[in-house]
Structure 1
């Protein structure tokens, strides 16, 4: 039993369209190389509350050790074992627990006459 010639034409046209779409999709995949995120980018996306400052300070002071720790954090994130975000204090605590004494620049500011001034300036002015 042969099918209607019109149906054969419609089927052929649909098959041609599907092949063209598949070829276009394959071409776009080849043209756009897949951009993999670095472990630092993955970990940075999970940081909050000055976490980026802690990470940057750690990279400046201990680049090799920080890279190893960040790589492990990224692996945990990608595997799904680490699902919550990491604060700056937690990250600093992690670095200190493995023996890296990351130094963070801190300052205490107080309000004086409607302006924020450093605590040292406030003490000098009170003398």
Structure 2
């Protein structure tokens, strides 16, 4: 009888220990969250494009970046250009959607719209 109570109490302790470990895992930020907190201007945009285009490779890079950030080796904010250069330097060619705008009459207009509106017969002398 005493042995059964001992077994039950040890099982309860194991369950409590497992539940507390699970709660700790839930409270710890993921590798992606660690990296995302350190991203600056357009960094998240580059990261999302990389995750969409190269999911497996990006997961490895996120894991390594999170380790470097957690250890204190990376202290500065990573902007989109730096992250983009990092991906390029290791051979991951992340494609970004680009748009060139020009100012016309105080408004920003897409360069394709501006070129489309110019008629071919108009020449500047």
Q: Normalization by structure 2: what TM-score? A: 0.73
Superimposed CA distance per residue, residues 38-57 of structure 1 (whole angstroms, 9 cap, x where no aligned partner): 11110011111100000000
Structure number with greater Rg is: 1
1:33 aligned to which of 10, 16, 23: 23
Q: Match for 1:103 among 95, 100, 123?
A: 95
Cα distance, 1:82 vs. partner? 0.7
CA distance in 2, matches of 1:38, 1:118: 39
TM-score in terms of structure 1 length: 0.72
Q: Which residue of 1 aligns with 2:38?
A: 46
Select the residue among 74, 82, 91 that pairs with 1:82: 74
Match of 2:117 among 112, 115, 125: 125
Q: Name the count of aligned residue pairs.
A: 97
Q: 5+ unaligned residues in a row in structure 1: which ranges?
A: 1-29
Q: How far apart, CA to CA, are the structure 2 residues paired with 1:58 and 1:46? A: 16
Where structure 2 has 5 or more consecutive residues not aligned to the other structure, the ranges are 1-19, 120-125
Query: What is the alpha-carbon distance in structure 2 between the residues aligned to residue 71 and residue 78 of structure 1?
Result: 11
**For 1:116, what is the secondary structure of its paired residue?**
strand
